[in-house]
Amino acid sequence: MRDAYVVGAGMIDFGELYDQSFDDLLEAAYLNLLEDVDKGVEPSDIDAGWYGTIDFANEGSSGASVAHATGLFEKPITRVENACATGSDAFRNASLAVRAGEVDLALVIGAEKMLDDTAGLIQGAAVERLWRGRGVTMPAFFGMRATRHMEVYGTTKAQIAEVSVKNHENGTKYPHAHQQFECTVEDVQDSPTVSYPLNLYDCCPVTDGACAVLLAGEDVAHEYTDEPVRHAGWGLSSDTFQRGDDLALSNFPASRHASSRAYERSGYGPDDVDVAEVHDCFSITELITYEDLGFCGDGEGGEFIESGAPRLDGHTPVNPSGGLLSKGHPIGATGVAQIAEIYEQLRDEAGDVQVDDPEVGLQHNIGIGRNATGAVSCVNVFDRG
């Protein structure tokens, strides 16, 4: 089987995009992508598309919506939905088709309109009707891991807040980030309690956004750029705390399964990762992801952030883009945007957030589903090919 390469990325500025419709977001990301490809690309070269969205806005958005927004008719375009791993799983599916040789050039596009109906975020809570009254929301699902992590490992609220401080600092240097402000540990701790032990600045904002990347088979990749980025490994896994494993109360075993598969496929390990874009829907999520991805040992996430290792100039820079905490989390776009950032990093094009000469990059999502009792994780590993 041949390898698949990223040959272009089109990011839009994330934010409160009240003046843009769902289709406008798709169109903007697509146009930016076409613009971004080093040697140019003709729309007619694109063989197929994978579209990541959870259709939060409930507009019945399907593969055909991408055709409408891009003009790419008569081509197979498939919508992928997999909770917070939606964008990264859309990418993974596209890559598999490219590797199989069925598709030479694949569009991966993710978009989410989060702000057309704000009531949905709390009311929906991704919870089936029977469970909705049980009052379990996103901050609760992740906050419970924070409580458990603090209890079992002695992690402190200040250490958790440090993640938010780091990512907001990075976000001010990343032009596409929704929130452009720095904060201190005190600011985080003084912000309103959303769901004890998480405060407002421990939580990512509600953000509209879209992003697109282009995947090419290794034999055609150089027609589009001289610096393609290789999709070196991937893993996708799900889990639920209901299975009874105590680790699932403080961490995400799904992230461990997905990353070990991705490491195994790529031949890299956690020590080889030079830059990572990981899922920080909440500050605690990134802290426990350090452990789940093997950047540090179990229970050492608090020390890891305190040591400065995940900072831009640290040993393993994590979320140079500012992460979801400052960039925002338009769900279907999130994973694709992380991949776009890794693409830039591995090409030394990341501007003010460029880390020092990275060879290997990792992208990670952890999402919730199934009445918030379950988790799904997708991990993709990249290198300079």
List the Cα angle 81/322/213 in 5-degree steps.
Answer: 45
Binding mask 133-152 for another protein (x = CB under 8 A): xxxxx-xx--xxxxxx--xx
Nearer to another protein by Cβ, of 148 and 176: the residue is: 148
DSSP 3-state of 114: coil
Nearer to another protein by Cβ, of 64 and 122: the residue is: 122
| Of 84, 183, 203, 296, catalytic | 84
Q: Which of 132, 222, 261, 315 binds another protein (CB under 8 A)?
A: 132
Q: State whether the Cα torsion 277-279-285-290 is positive or negative.
A: negative
CB-CB contact of 330 with 57 (8 Å): no
- The yes or no reply on residue 190 touching another protein (CB under 8 A) is no
Query: Could you tell me the two tokens for 81?
Result: 């939905």
- The yes or no reply on residue 197 touching another protein (CB under 8 A) is yes
DSSP 3-state of 266: helix
- The yes or no reply on residue 238 touching another protein (CB under 8 A) is no
Q: With CB under 8 A as the contact rule, which of the stretches 107-115, 187-195, 222-230, 348-356 interacts with another protein?
A: 187-195
- The yes or no reply on residue 157 touching another protein (CB under 8 A) is no
Total residues belonging to the chain: 385
84 noted as active-site residue: yes
Regarding beta strands 209-217 and 48-52, do their DSSP bridges make them parallel or antiparallel, or are they unpaired? unpaired
Residue type (1 letter), 120: G
Nearer to another protein by Cβ, of 150 and 324: the residue is: 150
Q: With CB under 8 A as the contact rule, which of the stretches 35-43, 58-66, 191-199, 262-270 interacts with another protein?
A: 191-199
Q: Give least dist CB 280 to another protein, A.
A: 18
Q: With CB under 8 A as the contact rule, which of the stretches 82-90, 110-118, 189-197, 355-363 interacts with another protein?
A: 189-197
Q: Say how far apart CA 120 and CA 109 lie, in whole Å.
A: 23
DSSP 3-state of 27: helix
Q: Rounded to whole angstroms, what are the CA distances from 103 to 2, 174, 229, 306?
A: 11, 33, 17, 45
HSE-CB of 146 using CA atoms within 13 angstroms: 28
| Of 176, 231, 279, 329, catalytic | 329
HSE-CB of 232 using CA atoms within 13 angstroms: 25
- The yes or no reply on residue 154 touching another protein (CB under 8 A) is no
176 noted as active-site residue: no
Which active-site residues does the annotation give?
84, 329
Give the footprint of another protein on this chain (CB under 8 A): 122-123, 129-137, 139-140, 143-148, 151-152, 192-198, 240-244, 246, 249-250, 371-373
